[in-house]
Amino acid sequence: MTIKEVTEKLENNNVYPDQVCLKNGVFTVKWGYYYHNGRTPDKYCAQIIRVFPLVTIVESGDHFGSFKGGKSVSANSHFFVKFKP
């Protein structure tokens, strides 16, 4: 599976991440935020499992970073889900 394939499959299932990365066979999917608005890492894990039912979730979480305008999703606050196909 490639980053492009993962991104396309997510978007075809109405899941729109801000960033998809691949390192050492583990995909990391990130959604940036300024406010939580009721969202949690568990909700994003459920979305990943719905789209890819056979993957193994390695880690998920909520990275809090102070706002840095114009910086990457990784540098700012974001939810993430790491999984292996």
**What is the CB neighbour count within 10 angstroms for residue 71?**
12
- Domain enclosing residue 76, as ranges: 3-84
Name the domain count of the chain: 1
pLDDT digits (tens, 9 = 90+) for 3-33: 999 999 999 999 999 999 999 999 999 998 8
Please give the pLDDT value at position 37: 82
pLDDT digits (tens, 9 = 90+) for 66-81: 666 665 666 678 999 9
Supply 73's token pair. 């999703």
CA 76, CA 85: separation in Å to the nearest integer?
27
Whether the full predicted model's pTM is greater than 0.75, yes or no, is: yes
